[in-house]
Amino acid sequence: MARILIIDDDLDVVESLTMVLEGNGHLVVARFTTADLLATVKEAHPDLIILDVVFPGDDQAGFKAARLLAGDREVQHLPVLMLSAVNQLSNLGFSFSEKDISRDFLPVTGFLEKPVEPACLLAKVASLLRPNP
């Protein structure tokens, strides 16, 4: 089973994700901010990172965090699953999908829109943890 780091400011989302992941044997470490991201990741030694997009005070904190992770040699190999409830284009949000994932622009490994069905989350996590052929 895997060690999963969830970075999301919404306590309730973290709680429900934790219940599902821990219920399936994963070990969950939760953080509620992207501050000191690299130190947090290096300390937690996760196999997978689940990352929110919008954080208080910075609507793009998740994107910045993903780019920061992708730029660090020690952690850039880790799969990152991006989660967002505000995936709709407006003056307050953004529109993106897995098609937008790219090394330079959106360096994450997968994307899911909140709310996530438990079965869907588990399938996605399993696919991201599977070693590349």
Partner 1 sequence: MNGPSINDADGRSSADLHCREMAARIDWAVRLRWFFVLASLAVAFLLPMVNEPLRAGKCFLWVGLALALTNFLAQRRLQALVVRSRAEAGTLRILCLVQVVGDYLALSVVAYALGSVETPVMFLLLPNCILAALYFPPLQSLAIALLGLGLVLLPLALEFVGLLAPVIIFTPGYREIIVSSPLILGSYLASLVCCVLFCWYLAVVIRRSLLANEEELETRYKQLLAVSRQKTSSVLHGAHELKAPLAAIRSYASTMRDGYTGPLPKKALQVVERIGVRCDRLLNMTSDIIRLGNLQGAVRVDEVFHPLALMPLLAELVAEATAAGQGREITVHLVPPDEEVWVLATEEHLRTLFLNLLLNAVQYSRPGGEVGVALALADNQVTVSVRDHGIGIGFAEVGLIFEEYYRTPAAVHHYGEGDGLGLAIVKAISTLLGAEIQVSSEVGNGTVVRVTFATVAAKVA
Q: What phi and psi values does residue 131 have, to the nearest 5 degrees?
A: -65, 140
Beta carbon of residue 48, minimum distance to partner 1 (angstroms, whole number) = 18
Give the list of residues 6+ apart from residue 126 with CB closer than 8 angstroms, or none: none
Of 43 and 98, nearer to partner 1 (C-beta) is 98
DSSP string, 22-89: HHTT-EEEEES--TTHHHHHHHH--SEEEEES-BTTBTTHHHHHHHHHHT-TTTTTS-EEEEES--S-
> Does 90 help bind partner 1 (rule: CB under 8 A)?
yes
| CB-CB contact of 5 with 29 (8 Å) | yes
Binding mask 41-80 for partner 1 (x = CB under 8 A): -------------x--------------------------
Q: Which helix (H) or strand (E) holds 4?
A: strand 3-7
Binds partner 1 (CB under 8 A): choice among 1, 42, 76, 105: 105
Does 103 bind partner 1 (CB under 8 A)? Our answer is no
Nearer to partner 1 by Cβ, of 17 and 69: the residue is 17
Q: Are 41 and 49 in contact (CB under 8 A)?
A: yes
Nearer to partner 1, 68 or 122 (CB): 122
- Residue 92 near partner 1 by CB under 8 A: yes
- Site residues (vs partner 1, CB under 8 A): 10, 12-13, 15-17, 19-20, 23, 54, 85-86, 88-96, 100, 105-106, 114-119
